[in-house]
């Protein structure tokens, strides 16, 4: 088998890269370890930055997102029982779109297959070879047959637990990591969200987030221990804790309960691998970095990476110029670190830290008061949340 760009991973990064390359007439093959059914139904966050939504629409895969996605013109911060709205539209002229990640994946897979794109699901034993030279290749097993994909470049879009990052020779990568002393207990409930916009709550007992997937499906998150057992949280306990942490001095406001159809705990970390490339192997998305979900940036950062990579590959094939490829990591890391900062800041401002002294707790509440009371501070949150402009060299 041969292609121009071998892509490992059919998550948002790998699929959007394949789609963008196709638009530029560049051939690719996507290799995915899981089944199509699995990746199309893997529930993840679903807040699309303004630029992400624009990219989907501009490249012809945004139709359903525009039809059923929920435009959100702001978010709410709730602390000390008071609610403070951050007006994205008024402050930045932009908004975000609530549209589940698994729907983005479905839309991209449908577009690739309709265009005759090659996506091999359920592949096994994927390994990358000779990417330090001019003729990299990917070996894998498909339907128990050993295959080799010869390519010009490899895109490692295989997520945090993939094979590409670990395949980079020892001593090359510098890893930066912060593991947080808490995780999130997340639920999906068949209940209309009790707010049209997201509510991020800082409460003495811990963080809570009211989010949603649709007008009839709520998504709620509760700060918990990083190794919390979801089974220790029967539905009644979850609803009771959400009501406490999302409590407000608005007497008319009430959380809406309903059957909980999914429950899970995710730990929380910040992680960056530098550089994001080695020879003809390029890391993109979660393969290169992880952000705490408080800023809703994981998907959006993956999109930014592959927009840079697609542009660099287009320049290589169309103009025979490889300077953008040589600067891929440097270009991406500029944004990665600004998004890491924002995600760390939102996480630090909104969660309860057992190790906090009285001083640190009051500094945290002062931070919230400042954001709630200052147009400049609210603007800083808003412009990061809707998405910083993507600087394509
Ligand atoms: N071979 C083939 N496929 C692999 C391998 C492998 N060795 N290892 C992992 N994969 C696949 C996974 O099954 C997954 O479908 O790579 C894909 C990686 O997708 P994501 O983990 O979704 O990562 P990415 O595309 O970078 O998107 C980042 O997804 O997980 C969320 O929170 C994350 O929102 C962020 C977004
Ligand atoms: C979600 O809906 O899952 C979600 C929304 C916003 C976040 C994190 C998660 O910051």
* Atom in ligand 1 nearest the alpha carbon of residue 158: 16
CB of 313 shorter than 6 A to ligand 2: no
For ligand 1, mutation pick of 109, 156, 159 (most atoms within 8 Å of CB): 159
d(Cα 215, Cα 70) in Å, to the nearest integer? 9
Cα separations (Å) of 24 from 55, 65, 310, 316, 324? 14, 23, 8, 11, 16
Nearest by Cα to 79 from 393, 355, 351, 360: 351
> Tens digits of per-residue pLDDT, 308-326?
999 999 999 999 999 999 9
d(Cα 120, Cα 139) in Å, to the nearest integer? 13
| Residue 198 CA to its chain's centroid (Å) | 17
Q: How far is the CA of 39 from the centre of ligand 1 (A)?
A: 9
Single pTM value for the model? 0.97
* pLDDT value of position 92: 98
Sheet strands (E) in 235-335: 260-274, 277-278, 281-283, 289-290
> Tens digits of per-residue pLDDT, 104-141?
999 999 999 999 999 999 999 999 999 999 999 999 99
* Atom in ligand 1 nearest the alpha carbon of residue 31: 2
d(Cα 167, Cα 383) in Å, to the nearest integer? 36
**Closest residue (by CA) to atom 7 of ligand 2?**
296
> Tens digits of per-residue pLDDT, 10-32?
999 999 999 999 999 999 999 99
Q: Which two tokens stand for residue 246?
A: 């999302």
CB of 197 shorter than 6 A to ligand 1: no
């Amino acid at each position: 088998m041969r292609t121009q760009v071998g892509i490992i991973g059919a998550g948002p990064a790998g699929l959007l890269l394949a789609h963008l390359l196709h638009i530029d007439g560049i051939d690719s093959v996507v290799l995915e370890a899981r089944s199509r059914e699995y990746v199309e139904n893997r529930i993840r966050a679903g807040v699309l930055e303004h630029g992400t939504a624009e990219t989907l629409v501009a490249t012809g895969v945004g139709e359903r997102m525009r039809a059923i996605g929920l435009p959100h013109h702001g978010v709410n911060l709730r602390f000390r029982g008071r609610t403070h709205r951050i007006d994205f539209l008024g402050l930045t002229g932009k908004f975000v779109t609530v549209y589940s990640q698994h729907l983005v994946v479905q839309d991209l897979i449908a577009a690739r297959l309709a265009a005759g794109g090659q996506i091999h699901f359920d592949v096994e034993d994927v390994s990358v070879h000779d990417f330090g030279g001019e003729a990299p290749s990917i070996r894998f097993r498909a339907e128990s047959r050993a295959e080799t994909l010869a390519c010009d470049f490899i895109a490692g879009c295989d997520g945090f637990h993939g094979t590409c990052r670990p395949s980079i020779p020892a001593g090359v990568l510098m890893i930066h990591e912060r593991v947080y002393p808490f995780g999130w207990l997340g639920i999906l409930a068949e209940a209309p969200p009790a707010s049209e916009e997201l509510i991020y709550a800082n409460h003495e007992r811990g963080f809570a987030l009211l989010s949603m997937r649709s007008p009839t499906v709520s998504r709620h998150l509760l700060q918990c221990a990083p190794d919390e057992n979801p089974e220790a949280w029967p539905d009644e306990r979850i609803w009771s804790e959400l009501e406490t942490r999302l409590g407000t001095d608005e007497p008319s406001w009430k959380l809406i309960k309903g059957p909980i159809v999914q429950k899970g705990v995710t730990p929380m970390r910040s992680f960056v691998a530098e550089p994001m490339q080695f020879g003809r192997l390029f890391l993109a998305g979660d393969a290169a970095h992880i952000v705490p979900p408080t800023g809703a940036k994981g998907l959006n950062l993956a999109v930014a990476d592959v927009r840079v990579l697609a542009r660099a590959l287009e320049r290589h094939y169309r103009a025979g110029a490889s300077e953008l490829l040589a600067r891929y990591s440097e270009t991406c890391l500029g944004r990665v670190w600004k998004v890491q900062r924002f995600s760390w800041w939102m996480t630090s401002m909104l969660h309860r830290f057992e190790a906090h002294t009285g001083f640190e707790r009051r500094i945290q509440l002062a931070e919230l008061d400042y954001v709630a009371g200052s147009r400049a501070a609210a603007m800083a949150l808003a412009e990061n949340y809707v998405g910083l402009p993507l600087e394509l060299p």
